[in-house]
Amino acid sequence: MRHSALRRAALTALLLLALPTARAEEVVAAVAANFAAAIARIEPGFEQASGHQLTVVLGSSGKFLQQIQQGAPFDVFLSADAERPEALAKSKLGVPASRFTYAIGRLALWSPDPQAFSNGEAYLKAGAFRHLAIANPTVAPYGAAAQQALERLGLWGGLQAKIVRAEDIGQVYAMAGSGAAEAAFVAYSQVLTGGKPGSQWLVPQDLHLPLKQDAILITRAQNNPAAKALLDYLKTLPAREVIQSLGYDLPPLEP
């Protein structure tokens, strides 16, 4: 009887030891660079609530789309636009029913010089700067929004000699912060979290198409509970509070 009880106790202990390993999974998320600060703050809450591990890769949405199409081992894609997740859904590389808008971005003109401007539109029209940094419009939605804004202001053609491009919005912010460009079109969230003084202008939303940022589950990860858990967590109140606090607008929750 005593040996039987010991065996049961040993078996229970082994099961308890194995349980966290069996339940915990990893999700590898391709995340648009503008969302870097937000995902960094969301990560601990997600891991604590779910028991899963999150690995984040930051970059431009266009590059991520290409990499996923080429078989890159991502589980979830948090894009800076809606078009690229839609393309994955249509090509069956993403799960259509999983796609949703997790944030609506805001574009800002920023300079590390606090005296650079008080009116961003007037500053751009005066053109008294050597370099203006934007993300590459072909791969970065915030770069495309910057181009749209300049076009609607009638400035795109005239500023070509002064515009410098970076691959993603993170690099754009770094260019301005280092002085390589006097000003840059960045995500408003970067201005709020960058910790650097300067001049800022929140670009009116009627100057560019809405920066709806969609997430999607990659088809290869449709049986990964951690990937599904991350998408679910982005819809929770704690995650939405983080997103809103960092300068994003929130879409209404889907029923």
Cα 20-43-215 angle, rounded to 5 deg? 105
What is this structure's pTM?
0.85
* 97 phi and psi angles, rounded to 5 deg: -70, -15
142: nearest Cα among 39, 245, 36? 36
pLDDT at 96: 98
Q: Strands 132-135 and 163-166, how do they pair?
A: parallel
Per cent of the chain over pLDDT 90 is 87
Whether 17 has a pLDDT exceeding 70, the answer reads no
- Topology of domain 107-202 in CATH is D-Maltodextrin-Binding Protein; domain 2 (3.40.190)
pLDDT at 21: 41
* Contact (CB, 8 A) for 45 and 246: no
Q: Mind giving me the DSSP string for 87-119?
A: HHHHTTSB-GGG-EEEEEE-EEEEES-TTS-S-
SS3 state at 230:
helix
Superfamily for the 2-104+211-245 domain: Periplasmic binding protein-like II (3.40.190.10)
pLDDT tens track for 129-187: 999 999 999 999 999 999 999 999 999 999 999 999 999 999 999 999 999 999 999 99
Whether 204 has a pLDDT exceeding 50, the answer reads yes
Q: 200 is written with which tokens?
A: 């800022």
Which segments of the chain belong to CATH 3.40.190.10? 2-104+211-245, 107-202
SS3 state at 73:
coil
Q: In the Cβ-directed half-sphere of 231, how many Cα atoms lie within 13 Å?
A: 24
pLDDT at 2: 46
**Average pLDDT for residues 112-127, to the nearest whole number?**
96
181: nearest Cα among 112, 106, 115? 112
Cα 154-157-162 angle, rounded to 5 deg? 110
pLDDT band at 12 (very low <50, low <70, confident <90, very high): very low
* Contact (CB, 8 A) for 133 and 185: yes
Q: Identify the bridge partners of residue 7 per DSSP, sorted by sequence position.
A: none
Q: Is the dihedral of CA 241, 142, 58, 188 positive or negative?
A: negative
pLDDT at 66: 96
pLDDT at 195: 85
pLDDT band at 255 (very low <50, low <70, confident <90, very high): low
pLDDT tens track for 59-101: 999 999 999 999 999 999 999 999 999 999 999 999 999 999 9
pLDDT at 252: 85
pLDDT band at 214 (very low <50, low <70, confident <90, very high): very high
